[in-house]
Amino acid sequence: MSIKDKYTVRSIESNEVKEWILYKHYAKRMPPIEYSFGLFNNILRGIITYGTPPSSNLRESFGNKFKMIELNRLCVNEELGKNVLSYFVSLSLKLLPSPLIIVSYADTAQNHHGYIYQATNFIYTGLSAKRTDWKIKGMESLHGATIADMSRGKENRAKYMRAKYGSDFYLEDRSRKHRYFYFIGNKKQKAEMLKLLPYSIESYPKGDNQRYNANYQPSVNLNLF
């Protein structure tokens, strides 16, 4: 039986991916979600979500002419079979609106290289820059950009955060990530997106991936029918 005969991909509600993201995905936190899709083989076998990238600078780097979203979570059950993951990503991309710029990252801290993006013809643009994230003890689930937004409009933002949170406010080195792009649109639109790309295109990175423990079995196993 072929993959397309065995598996189906369709849109699902964002609340239906919550357990997968919080307990099965290694990041263990909810990202902003605008589109979410499920991989089905009678029941839900995997999820993929897309949402607004946290970096406003990245979004603005394309001149705001084209909408940009981030492929921010991809999580599936183990042992689905060869090429199922790339099939899932490819079909989810076809279900997104056009024109659209997609960015996604593979975390070097997890020893990931982005092989799934390579298999689905994403453009590779190297590693993200070295950065530190603002953190607050007890709020580690919040993205660094969310923490930084707490001081938006203040003259000395770091001073404001230290005065408000004291020693609970600290800096943490952010792991560098392999950065990938994918363009959705007609031939002319894709050519313009490529022209606006603010990074050089590089050869795909290689290396041994490290698999994280994804044995958790979500209770949300939606029936296809």
Give the pLDDT confidence of 188-209 residue by residue, as tens digits. 999 999 999 999 999 999 987 6
Q: Is residue 223 predicted with pLDDT exceeding 50?
A: no
The predicted structure's pLDDT at residue 219: 67
- 1-10, 96-105, 213-222: the lowest-pLDDT one: 213-222
For residue 106, is pLDDT > 90?
yes
Instruction: Assign 4 to helix, strand or coil.
Output: helix
Helix (H, G, I), strand (E, B) or coil at 185: coil
**Residues 26, 112 contacting (CB under 8 angstroms):** no
Q: Please say whether the beta carbons of 16 and 36 come within 8 A.
A: yes
CATH homologous superfamily for 1-129+176-225?
Gcn5-related N-acetyltransferase (GNAT) (3.40.630.30)
Residue 42 CA: distances (Å) to CA of 9, 133, 198, 212: 11, 41, 42, 26
- Rounded to two decimals, what is the model's pTM? 0.80
Continuous H helices in 9-74: 18-19, 56-60
Where does the pLDDT of residue 112 fall: very low under 50, low under 70, confident under 90, or very high at 90 and above? confident
> Which comes out higher in pLDDT, residue 95 or 152?
95
Q: What is the pLDDT of residue 224?
A: 38
Residue 107 has pLDDT above 70, yes or no: yes
Q: Using an 8 Å Cβ cutoff, are 24 and 43 in contact?
A: no
Q: Is the pLDDT of residue 29 over 90?
A: no
Residue range 69-78: average pLDDT? Answer: 92
Query: What's the confidence (pLDDT) of residue 181?
Result: 98
3-state helix, strand, coil in the chain (%, to 5): 30, 30, 45
CA angle, 57 then 109 then 198, to 5°: 25
Residue 38: the pLDDT is 97
Yes or no: say if 112 and 200 are a contact pair by the CB < 8 Å rule.
Answer: no
What are the tens digits of pLDDT across the range 138-181? 987 777 777 888 898 888 999 999 999 999 999 887 788 999 99
- Structural domain boundaries of the chain? 1-129+176-225, 131-174
For residue 60, name the pLDDT band (cuts at 50, 70, 90).
Answer: confident
